[in-house]
Each structure stands twice: as structure tokens, then as C-alpha cells.
Amino acid sequence: METIYLTRENLASRQRSVEPTVMALGFFDGLHQGHCKVIQAALQKAKEQNVKLAVMSFFPHPKTVISNGKKKVCYLMPLSEKEKRLEQLGVDLFYIVRFDKEFSSLSPEQFVAQYLLKLGVVHAVAGFDFSYGSRGLGNLDRLTNDSGGLIEVTKVEKVACKGEKISSTCIRERLVKGLVEEIPYFLGRPYEVKGTRDGMTIQLEAFYTLPAPGRYRVTVKNERHSIETELIVTEESMLQTCQELPYHMAGELSILWHHQIKNHEISNEKMLVTI
């Protein structure tokens, strides 16, 4: 998979070397089950038309830019992890558009012309509530018209779990409440963060969100080993172990969150790790 960081400065040069693609559009934070439905639908269209599959995402989060930094977005995964998972899903091209004030001021027609048509998009796929252009005035119902009839559109309808729309927001809300055991229903897998062990501390990588303060049953793993243990998330969100992890659990670690442990579940013979 090729990853292309698009800015105003390099957009024109990229437009000169494109080929037809089917493109999935969205922010795709966490790549939950709704996002995967969009990408799977785009992959099917790409195979039907015998063209490459592209994904376009944006960074930083539009809410942060539009609010002039007043709204803080807690990301579910960094771009590097998003790249890995998109490649596993069969994506050929991953466009990351720098979202800034100038980009946010583009009209819907300008966005379609500059970032879709001139990048070779022949078919666009997105969730039913995807919007584009200044103030989000563009939507999938008008995208074909905005492209002069040159781009076909597939709208992926709402993907729900237990009557609730699957979204990055609903996953963040569960993290805030410590309900990590519910997240696999929406994400399709346990929530995972990465960090690096340094003695008695674990330094969390940027662009992950920790669950609410409390004690959790987790799996800690590296490339060769994994152990089930417990972590304590403190009010300060500090990552410091109370007990040394086994010597072979060194370097970069992944932490998979399974469920929050209530007071009556706590036993006396458990490893405690403070986060």
C-alpha cells in the first residue's frame, strides 16, 4: 500500500500522476465495524471495475480545526496503526489530507474537482452521513451532480449494534465510562493501545485514549509473548508498573482491554500495573 500525504503544496504534482480508482471517504478513526463495511463495499466496487482501491482520510480531526482548537478530540488510534489496518483490508492507496482552515473553506464543488476528479476517482463510497466542503454542505446525494456526472456513488447505510449507530464517538463514550467490555461489539475487536516499557514505566504512544480510571483485566503482549494481567488506570493517566513485568515483556507493548474489575472481583494473587 502506498501512503500519500496531501497538502496544498504537493496536490498539483500528485494530480499529474493518477489512475482510475474507487475511493472510500471518511475519517476512519479506530476502523470500527461501520468503517469496515464502507471499505469492503469500496473494495467490491474496485474489483468489479478492475481499478485500485483508495481511501481518503483527514488529519487533524476536522472538529479541532473548525473549533479553532477549542474542541479536543481523543483519537482511538494513530495514523501509523490506521495504515497497517487499511493495508490488511486490501487498500492500495491511502491519502491523508492535511485538514486546515483553507481546506475547510473549499466549496463542495471545489473539493470534488480538486480532491476527487483530479485524483482519478471514478466511484466514491462513504457512510450515509458523510459530508464534505465548507460547513459540510456537500453530501452523497449531490456528489454525482457536483462531479458533472463523472463519479458514481455508493452510500453505505447505518451500521448499528443493539439499536445504536456504530461510531467512533460511541466507542470514545464507552472508554470514558470504563465500559471496555462493550467495545468489541462496536469495534469488532478488543480496544488496543501501544506503549514502550522502560523499567517500571510504560510510555503510551500518542493518539490513543485510555479508559476511565479503574482496574482492568487486560492482555499485554509483544511480538513473541503475551500475558493476562491487571492494570490500574489512575486519575493522572500515568503509566507506571507496581510490579515488574517478566523480563521478556520488554520494548514496545500492546495492551488489549477486556473488562473493568469491580472491587468484589479483586483477588490477592494478581499482578498490578498502574497506568
**Residue 90 has what DSSP assignment?**
T
Per the listing, cell 470514558 goes with 176
If 0-12 CB within 10 Å is exposed, 13-18 middle and 19+ buried, where does residue 58 land?
Answer: buried
Q: What is the pTM of this model?
A: 0.90
Q: Per the CATH hierarchy, to which homologous superfamily does domain 2-158 belong? A: HUPs (3.40.50.620)
pLDDT at 200: 67
- Cα–Cα distances (Å) from 40 to 5, 210, 241, in that order, read 23, 29, 40
Domain range summary for the chain, segments of one domain joined by +: 2-158, 180-274
Alpha carbon distances (Å) from 108 to 89, 148, 177:
29, 13, 37
Q: Tell me, what's the pLDDT at 219?
A: 92
Q: Give the whole-angstrom CA distance, residue 97 versus residue 211.
A: 29
pLDDT along the chain (275 residues), means of 10: 95 93 97 97 98 97 87 92 97 97 96 97 97 95 96 96 94 96 97 85 87 91 88 72 72 93 57 49
Q: Which three cell numbers stand for residue 42?
A: 469500496
Cell, residue 47: 474489483
- Going by C-alpha positions, the residue among 191, 189, 226, 242 that lies closest to residue 212 is 191
Spatial CA neighbour of 272 closest among 205, 200, 192, 183 = 200
How many whole angstroms from its chain centre is CA 10? Answer: 24
Can 2-158 and 180-274 be said to share one CATH topology?
no
Residues 6+ apart with CB under 8 A from 26: 35, 38, 55, 56, 57, 126, 127, 130
The CATH class that applies to domain 180-274 reads: mainly beta
Instruction: Return the closest-CA partner of residue 209 out of 244, 185, 230, 183.
Output: 183
For residue 258, which of 208, 225, 215 has the smallest C-alpha distance? 215
